[in-house]
Chains A and B, each alone.
Chain A
Amino acid sequence: GNSVTQMEGPVTLSEEAFLTINCTYTATGYPSLFWYVQYPGEGLQLLLKATKADDKGSNKGFEATYRKETTSFHLEKGSVQVSDSAVYFCALRKYSGGGADGLTFGKGTHLIIQP
């Protein structure tokens, strides 16, 4: 079946540090890949997505590139801020036809940015 693996953390960085959160997936065919962010006590917000190999998703200074050869979708940001502190979820969606297909999530990475 489909699965997503990501570092769980917590990951603690200083403000303005470079961020990488690794994400790898297992799926047949060509899934779409997503990063969601969850701030404390809130629901999930889409951060970025990529729907085919070599696509780069980007938003709010975050980037991730769909690498089919390494089955990865690592999240990066050049300079993090305290406001980036949250839980980040990597997810995939595989359309198999005939019905609705939900997302398969990683377990989430708790990111803490210290001033």
Chain B
Amino acid sequence: SQTIHQWPATLVQPVGSPLSLECTVEGTSNPNLYWYRQAAGRGLQLLFYSIGIGQISSEVPQNLSASRPQDRQFILSSKKLLLSDSGFYLCAWSLRTAGSGNTIYFGEGSWLTVV
């Protein structure tokens, strides 16, 4: 069966510091990968998605970037965090086969507090 792991689970970082959140998927190959953010009062926002190694699409211009160095690894980064980057970050995956009915599966999330 497929599993998704992301870490760290919680993170408190000062303004201006860098960020790295990692996510890996096991039990499948060539998945689509996603990063979402859930901020207070703003619902769930798609930040990045990837259909393959090195192929990243950004949905919202921001202070963050994403990379996919390996097929089942997805990394969310920032060089200098802002207070507004605080939130709950969720990594997710789905099968790459065509069609909107494929379920997107989420990791447990990472709580980021920028102070």
Contact = CB atoms under 8 A, between A and B. Distances in A.
Interface residues of A, number: 26
Contact of B34 (A34, A36, A100, A108): A100
User: Interface on chain B toward A: helix, strand, loop, or mixed SS?
Assistant: strand
B108 A42 contact: yes
Interface string A84-114: 0000010001110101111101111000000
A100 B43 contact: no
Given A43-B107, A43-B109, A46-B105, A89 B98 contact: no
Given A43-B107, A99-B51, 9 more contacts: A32-B100, A44-B90, A49-B103, A100-B57, A101-B100, A102-B36, A102-B92, A103-B104, A107-B43
A68 B94 CA distance: 25
Nearest to A107: B43
A46 B49 CA distance: 19
Interface of B: 32-34, 36, 43-44, 46, 49-51, 57, 59, 90, 92, 94, 96, 98-109
Contact of B100 (A43, A89, A94): A94
A102 B46 contact: yes
A97 B98 contact: yes
